[in-house]
Structure formats: structure tokens, C-alpha cells
Amino acid sequence: MTIASSFIRLCRQIVGDANVIADPALLRVYECDALAAYTQLPDLVVLPDSVEQIPALLRLCHTHQIPVVARGAGTGLSGGALPVPGGIVLGLAKLNRILDIDPINRTATVQAGVRNLAISEAARPHGLYYAPDPSSQIACSIGGNIAENAGGVHCLKYGLTVHNVLQIKLATITGELLTLGGSGLDGAGYDLLALAIGSEGLLGVVVEATLRLLPTPPRVQVLLAAFATIEQAGAAVADIIGAGLIPAGLELMDNAAIRATEAFVHAGYPVEAAAILLCELDGQPEQVDADLARAEALLRAAGASELRVAADAAQRQRFWAGRKAAFPAVGRIASDYYCMDGTIPRRHLAAVLAEIAALAERYGLSVVNVFHAGDGNLHPLILYDAGRPGDFDKAEALGGDILELCVRVGGTITGEHGVGHEKLPQMCVQFQAAELEQFHALKQAFDPNGLLNPGKAVPTLHRCAELGKMHVHGGRLPHPELERF
Amino acid sequence: MTIASSFIRLCRQIVGDANVIADPALLRVYECDALAAYTQLPDLVVLPDSVEQIPALLRLCHTHQIPVVARGAGTGLSGGALPVPGGIVLGLAKLNRILDIDPINRTATVQAGVRNLAISEAARPHGLYYAPDPSSQIACSIGGNIAENAGGVHCLKYGLTVHNVLQIKLATITGELLTLGGSGLDGAGYDLLALAIGSEGLLGVVVEATLRLLPTPPRVQVLLAAFATIEQAGAAVADIIGAGLIPAGLELMDNAAIRATEAFVHAGYPVEAAAILLCELDGQPEQVDADLARAEALLRAAGASELRVAADAAQRQRFWAGRKAAFPAVGRIASDYYCMDGTIPRRHLAAVLAEIAALAERYGLSVVNVFHAGDGNLHPLILYDAGRPGDFDKAEALGGDILELCVRVGGTITGEHGVGHEKLPQMCVQFQAAELEQFHALKQAFDPNGLLNPGKAVPTLHRCAELGKMHVHGGRLPHPELERF
């Protein structure tokens, strides 16, 4: 299936020749997102450079029944921006204007292609910042963040993207531009804003967003706690949250992650520890000081073998440098790794990590753990060798097992990366048929011909039946603890 | 249009004879909700006493094409539970079981008819509570709270219902029971949980909910600040929020509200003040002490003529007793009042209050203001006399004008009461045709025959055209301040 040259000509009329890519050598750049294990050469890439072009392009695609895959910076980790044969990739990178920073309302209004970090940089002169901070924040764009409901280290305290977006402009497949959300806490009508956030490009294309900015906290402290067992570290996380503390970040790294990181960036981590926790506290000075004392006491009581408070900003940055470099550090010890993303109730942390290790051993693969422990968002990194035939298939199968384990203990198959192409089989485990049917009905209400990012995020019931996954388990809240796993 | 006796018999088979009301004298109780200006005698009321009966009832209604109006405690203020001719009222009051209080996960799982306050009472032995606290919390039910996305004094800090619900079970019109949401921050699939919350019974019937509980804050302080002008009070609100303080509650009462309240409950309010602010701070002791000092300084700098900190729990309760009794207090000075509900950007507070006063004078009516100033959620109480012909019509027209004023300054037509029957005309002002069309398409995805609460919340485009309201204004974020009003 190729795209007719007449259609390409119409695209050129809308966005200009320079903004259409049809040359296979140049198209190669767009064959995958950051989940590079899945590739598909696109037929055509269109790169609008004004918001007005997008409804026109979508209307054109609707008229010609051409599928559309929206793409931000291509940093997604679930294959959400994987091209579709016979479709176009709608790249939003050129929509990179910051339209307004409003210090009184504490809002930023930006185009979809603006990079996450650029928003905080623009807000900094006003003492403000944009809270959600995915690891890719230097590169990833707000449009992609919204499509995937991105998180980050600080979402434990400040929420995911959905909690920090006030309004979006969403272009529909028929070329309408909807304004969703507003400045108030509540709004009239159905909550289409929340619905659109995390909808992975299946309902419309985000072209502009108004975001909530927060005041830069006047004091920040970081604690590093080392533990002799991973169970202790997991229990300490539950203790901290159970005590009513809400750290700005609460990250766990296991021994393999500590060693890989230390060898790479020399952050000063204790390499003998089974696990470390990094606990960041921020806010007003009085509150941070009080919280720090409580956190220290809790971590000590939980059996921390070592406890360090960053003495100054430099040491704080050094503590975080290790965590932030953990993924590339793991990249140095394995030829390839596959980063999973699932969420579990915190109290199951230790048991799930043990079960993941057992699963990995069964597959003959290694797993490194470095993740957002405070909100139970796991990121097991499965090490494999793409050059060894069958190795990725094993990694993929192990990843699937890990996600299904998350569902079994009452969790979900995504914490912040989305479902994309990657997690379709596990959607059949997470949801019952009636829920999947409702998803499809809802999709119909936005995109009856299924042109927007087809084949992603929500599997057909037929596909679930083929996979034999349907109804394996419906276990989620309210009583996951009653279920054996 | 009446309901066939054969249908009534089928209802009796599902819920039992005692749970079906068809006697006109008894039906009278259900002719309105707390917005008693609009009434409609229902044809039939069905009161299921088990969750399982609800899908069966909805399936029956679907088969026989009978409209369904779900009703919680009937405390709604926008006519959302107003019966529909030829339809049934599905009363959920008998579903009043608290299924689980989980102190480790800090969740409560309850049936839809459980009263809001009963949840906090059940959680209290664990040092926990449920944060959203509508004025009607002693009576209103969680199902109704979810349907209307209810707020309350404390939603400034703790969010509306949507921010405090983790999971719901939603019965669809075809009798499916969907489980929406889960324990994690993020979830896979479209965010049907957020979509269902605030959907006013148009998409399905909530039968069960799992709610987030919060630890009771160890310290609470309440400040009362009096101002010689309402402009100063409005500016003080902006100053407090602008300084990064997030009070647990920040309420404004104007002179008429102060006088009415003081005459009723003798809370010790300064009756000469043009306005008072009640500012509640809660949290860890160190934080509350620091915040209190900052709030005092800010209020003094904003020109407070008097500043009192409640000395103890008794005085704190006395300060709040006035605010909480404000509505009945106003009920003593007027034969009837109509409580409006709109939200505006905080910085427009003073100007909008002045404009409301001017509008009221034009209509020859009085307005009393007592509202959630911190989040810009206005509740003008329009005084009228239901016994005087035409008086309610004037009040209704003034209310409509006030809501349209809210939209004009970049706000919304609801803060926490929903649209219901009341605000249909203003929906045409708030939204453009494309957005309303998208709402209808979405409704189709859940309820293609329009049986769930028909005629509420979202007007048809035809109705908007009739009202001549369409496209009067689309002014919302991001740049309302550029617009004159």
C-alpha cells in the first residue's frame, strides 16, 4: 500500500514542499520511536509549521481515508509513534512556539512541539516551573507528553501530565479544532480534557496546551538510604508514604543498577548495598526541615544501613546524577535493554521484585531495577542482545509476563509510557470484554473510520481472543490483597 | 405518557414490591431535587437494595426504551435529578453499605448511596477522612457527588470529587458493569473514570466507588480577616494564592452575608465589614505555623482592618459555624433564594462582584455573596419571593446573566453543582457547536438511544439556536485578560 502522488501534492499545498518528506532515506528517521525494537518505514512524513495547517491536513486525510500517526519528538517508549503502512506520520516538532507565560495565573501556553524542559526554562525568570519531568525531558515534547500522559520522578507529589494540563486545543479527524478544559477546577460538559490526555493519538491531535506552572520550591533536600535487602527498601517506601510524607521523588535502585551507575558516573553510591532509596523533599524551609527529620527517623527504623543527606546543591545533583544516568549506564553493561513500565500497589514492591527476578532466571535473562518506588511505578530493564537470534523475543515475552504480574497484584500495565504498540496483548489481561467494547465505542465517537493511530493502545476483541488472553484475570481494586499471586 | 403496568410488574420482580413506588402521593417526594424551583412528578420510582439489581433494571429499561433518571440523596442544586415524563427515577439511597475501609492503601470502597459524611465517620478510627465536603455532606451521597463532581470548602487544597476517586463500577444502559480506574496514578486505556465523573448520569449509573482517604491533618488553624471594601478582600485572595500558599479553605462573605449570618448564629463576625475572609490552614504543625505567619502578613499588607486567629478548636468551630449556616441564615431574611454556581479567574473577583451587584440592581433583586474565593467559585444567592408572580423568572434571568458574565471573563458556568436542567442555556454560551457535537457523539457511544437522564447537561444544537445563544462568546483560556467585559 503506497500513498498516491496526488495526495502527496495536496499535502505539499498545505504545508509547503520543504515540510513533506517522501524520500526513503530521509523517512528512515521516522521508522520507530524510542522503542526501537519495532520499526515500520513510513510512506510519508508531513511536518506542519503552523497550527492552522493541522485541521486542514486531518480533513484531507479524512477525505482520502489515509491513516495518521501523530509524532512529537519520537522519545516514546511504547511504540505509540510507530508508523502505519499506507499512512502518514504527522510530525509536530516544528510547532515549537511558547505562546505565553502568565506569571499571575501561573500558566504556560505552548504549541504541541515545544520541548518539556523548554517550558520550565521559559518559566524560570518568574520563579515558576512545569512539574512533570520524564527522563527524556530535554528532548520530549508536550504534545507527546499529553498523548502518553507522561510522568517522571516528581509525579509522586505533583501528579502526571493529566494533573498539570488546564486546557488543550485538539484537532479532530474531520478538521475541527476543539477547546477542551479551562482555568477552573471544574468544568461544564463531559471531561473531554482528561479523556484526551493519555489517549495516545487515537482521538485527535493536540496542537496547543495551557499548562499549570508551580512556584520553584524554596528548599530542596535529598536523602540517600542504603539497605542490605531489597525487602527492607520496599518496606521503607511503604513506611514513608504510610506516615503521610509525600516526597517530591522517591526512587529505588537495586544492586545491579547501583553498580552499573557507579561505574559510569561515580555518584558515590554504596556499591555493596542491595538497594538504595533516593528521597527528595521540597517545599517551604520549615516543612522540609521537619519532613527531613521524619524521613530520616523512618528510614533508620526501616533498617537503613547507611543514611546520607546531601550537604549542598552540588551533592544533591551528584545523588541525582546517578539516577538520571542509570539507563545509559545499563546500556554500557548490556548490548541492548528493554525498559518495561507497570504500576503496582506499593506494599507488593518486595514480593514483585522477587518474582521478577525468578521470572528472569526462568528466561535466562538479567533484569536491572531502577524506578519510581513512591508511586509503585516499576521500570524493570530487561537486558538482551539484539544480535542474538531469538533474544528479543525472549525479552518481549518476559516483559509481557512482568506486566501480567502487575495486573495480578492489583496494578496496571502502564505507569507513564502508555500502551502504544507494545502492550496490546496485556490490554486483554487488564480489561474485560465490556470495557474494551466501551473503549471502541468511544473511539467511534471521535474517529468512526479509525484513521487516527490505528492498531495502537486498544486491541480488538478478536485480537484478544487470538492471543488467548481474554479474561485471564480481572483483579484490580478493591481487594487485590486477597488474591494469591 | 405513562408507564405500562406490565413494565412496573417487571420492575417489582427485580427489586421486590416494597422497593417500587407508583402511588402519586408518595411519588411527590421525588418531584424535584434541592433546586425546588423546577418540578416534575415522576411516573415511577424504583429503589434497588442490591448492586446486582441495577444492571437488570437498566437492561429492562433499555429493552422497553424507558428513560432513567438516577437519584442519590436529592440534594443536587442544578436539577440533575429532575424526573423525566414517561421515565423512572432510579433511587440509589438503599445502596448504603460501606464495603471496606483499607487503612494501608488509604481507600474506602462504598456503595453509591453511602452519605458523604458517613465515609469520613467510618474512616475516623484510622485517623483518615474523605476530603471533598459539599455543604450538604451530612445528607448527600457519594453517587451523586460523583455524578456532579461535587466540591466543597476544602477542594481548593484537596481537589474536587474527580481528584479523590480511584475507581468506580458503572452500570451501562445495556446492563454491563464496567470497572473504571484503579489504584495507580496512571491507567491503560482511555480515562473513562474521569469521563464518568461529572457526567451527571448521562453515561451510566455509578453503583460503587473506591475513594482516596487522607490522613487527618495534625494541626488546623483558622484566620478571620475583615476588610473595609470588597475589592481589598478580592485582592487579598489573589495575594495569598500568588504567594504560593494553598489554604485548606479560603472563603469570602460579603456584608449582607455577614449580617444575615451574625443575626442567626452569632459567630462573632464584624458586622460593619464590607467583606470577611475565612482562611483555614492545615498540615504538619511546623508548616501550619509558618503558613499562618505568612498569611497574617499578607492579609495585613492587603489592608485587613481586623485579623483574628482562632485561639482554640471551639473558636475555630465558631468561625466556621457562621460560614456553614450562611445559606439557612439567608433563608431567614428572604422568602426564597436561588443559589448560583460559576467559576472565574481569581483576579477578576472584585470586578465580577461589582458587576453582579449592578446586574442585580437592574433586575430589582438583591444578591448575597458567600463563596469559595480561593478557587474563584462564586455562589451568588439571588433573593426572591416565589409567591410573587414573575419573581422567579427574574431571578432565573439574573442567574443566567451572572453565568454568562463568568464565561465572558474566562470562567465556567459550574464550579461544583453541575449543569443539570438549570444551566442548559448557558452551555450554548460556554461551548462552540463543534464541542457540543462532540459531547453528543460521546453520549451516543454510551447511550445511543438517549435513555439516561435525557434533556440534561448538554443541550441540542437546535435548542441553542432557538435560544439564540450560540457563539455569543467563546472566551476562555488562554487570554481572557485581553478581553473587555
Domain boundary among B328, B363, B392: B328
HSE toward the beta carbon, residue B220, CA cutoff 13 A: 18
Q: What is the CATH number of the domain that holds A281?
A: 3.30.70.3450
- Provide the percentage of residues in chain B whose pLDDT is more than 90: 87
Q: What is the CA radius of gyration of chain A?
A: 23
Cα separations in angstroms, A174 against A13, A64, A90: 18, 11, 15
Q: Note whether B167 and B205 are same-domain residues.
A: yes
B318 and B294 housed in the same domain: yes
Cβ count near A85 (within 10 Å): 12
User: In the structure, what pLDDT confidence band is assigned to residue B142 with cuts at 50, 70 and 90?
Assistant: very high
For cell 537495586, the residue is A254
Quick check: B412 and A188 CB within 8 A? yes
Give me the pLDDT at residue B1, please.
Answer: 59
* Mean pLDDT, residues B143-154: 95
* Buried residues in B239-256 as b, exposed as e (16+ CB within 10 A): bbbbebbebbbbbbbbbb
All three cell numbers of B411: 470562567
In this prediction, residue B406 carries a pLDDT of: 96
In chain A, residues with a C-beta closer than 8 Å to the C-beta of B443 are 190
Domain boundary at B173, B192, B215, which?
B215
All residues of chain B having their beta carbon less than 8 Å from the beta carbon of residue A199 are 190-191
Report pLDDT for A483.
Answer: 34
Looking up cell 493536540 gives A206
CB contact under 8 A, B343 and A198: no
If one compares A412 and B347, the residue with the highest pLDDT of the two is A412
Model confidence band, residue B470 (pLDDT cutoffs 50, 70, 90): low
How close does chain B come to A271, measured CA to CA in Å?
31
CB A150 within 8 A of CB A133: no
My answer on whether A223 and A149 are in the same domain is no
Residues B477 and B345 in one domain: yes
Asked if A413 has any chain B CB less than 8 Å from its own CB, the reply is yes
pLDDT recorded at residue A440? 97
pLDDT 10s digits, B276-294: 999 999 998 988 999 999 9
| Nearest Cβ partner for A190 among B172, B187, B442 | B442
Task: State whether residue A482 sits within 8 Å of chain B by CB.
Answer: no
B439 close to A190: Cβ distance less than 8 angstroms: yes
Q: A478–B109: do the CB atoms touch at under 8 Å?
A: yes
Query: Which of A193, A477, A481, A483 to probe the B interface (max B CBs under 10 A)?
Result: A477
Phi-psi category of A130—alpha, beta or left, where left has phi over 0 and alpha has psi -120 to 50? beta
Note whether A192 and A302 are same-domain residues.
no
User: How many Å apart are CA B201 and CA B305, to the nearest integer?
Assistant: 46
Grid coordinates of A456 = 495502537
Total number of domains in chain A: 3
Place of cell 475501609: B101
- One-letter identity of residue B398: L
Query: Is A107 close to B444, i.e. CB distance below 8 A?
Result: no
- Distance (Å, whole) CA A465 – CA A418: 22
Averaged confidence pLDDT in chain A: 93
Residues lower than pLDDT 50 in chain A: 471-485
- The cell numbers describing A396, all together, are 518481549
- Cell numbers for A286, please give them: 520549615
Helix, strand or coil, per DSSP, at residue B215: strand
Q: Is the pLDDT of residue B461 over 80?
A: yes
Chain A residue numbers with beta carbons less than 8 Å from the beta carbon of B189 are 419, 427, 430-431, 435-436, 439, 457-458
pLDDT above 70: residue B473:
no
**Cα A301 from Cα B323, distance rounded (Å):** 44
**Domain co-membership, B413 together with B352:** yes
Confidence of residue B182 (pLDDT cuts 50, 70, 90): confident
Does residue B474 have a pLDDT over 80?
no
3-state secondary structure of B57: helix
Q: Read off the amino acid at residue A464.
A: C
Question: Do B267 and B319 sit in the same domain of this protein?
Answer: yes
* Residues A16 and A75 both lie in one domain: yes
Has residue B17 got a pLDDT over 80? yes
B284 vs A105, A188, A287: nearest CB: A287
Give the structural domain span for A174.
1-216
Contacts with B, A 178-217, CB within 8 Å: 178-192, 194-195, 197-199, 202-203, 210, 215
Which CATH number fits the domain that encloses residue B402?
3.30.70.2740
Label each residue of chain A as H, E or C: CCCCHHHHHHHHHHHCHHHEECCHHHHHHHCCCCCCCCCCCCCEEECCCCCCHHHHHHHHHHHHCCCEEEECCCCCCCCCCCCCCCCEEEECCCCCCEEEEECCCCEEEEECCCEHHHHHHHHHHHCEECCCCCCCCCCCEHHHHHHHCCCCCCHHHHCCHHHCEEEEEEECCCCCEEEEECCCCCCCCCCHHHHHCCCCCCCCEEEEEEEECEECCCEEEEEEEEECCHHHHHHHHHHHHHCCCCCCEEEEEEHHHHHHHHHHHCCCCCCCCCEEEEEEEEECHHHHHHHHHHHHHHHHHCCCCEEEECCCHHHHHHHHHHHHCHHHHHHHHCCEEEECCEECCHHHHHHHHHHHHHHHHHHCCEEEEEEEHHHCEECEEEEECCCCCCHHHHHHHHHHHHHHHHHHCCCECCCCCCCCCCCHHHHHHHCCHHHHHHHHHHHHHHCCCCCECCCCCCCCHHHHHHHCCCCCCCCCCCCHHHCCC
User: Which residues are CB-neighbours of B317 under 8 A, at least 6 positions away?
Assistant: none
Q: Which residues in chain B have Cβ-Cβ distances shorter than 8 Å to A478? A: 99-100, 102, 107, 109, 167, 210
Shortest distance, CA B221 to any CA of chain A (angstroms): 16
Say yes or no: A164 contacts chain B, CB-CB below 8 A. Answer: no
Please check whether residues A269 and A374 belong to one and the same domain: no
Domain closes at, from A298, A328, A358: A328
Are B351 and B472 in a shared domain?
yes
pLDDT tens-digit readout, B385-425:
999 999 999 999 999 999 999 999 999 999 889 999 999 99
- Give the pLDDT score at B252: 97
Whole-number pLDDT of residue A105: 81
- C-beta atoms of B186 and A149 within 8 A: yes
Task: Note whether B207 and B292 are same-domain residues.
Answer: no
Give tens-digit pLDDT for A268-312: 999 999 999 999 999 989 889 999 999 999 999 999 999 999 999
The reply to whether residue A189 touches residue B430, judged by beta carbons under 8 angstroms, is yes
Q: What pLDDT is stored for residue A44 in this prediction?
A: 98
- ipTM score assigned to the predicted complex: 0.89
Interface of B with A in 128-157 (CB under 8 A): 149, 151, 155
- Predicted confidence band at B200 (pLDDT cuts at 50, 70, 90)? very high
Pair (B26, B156) in one structural domain: no
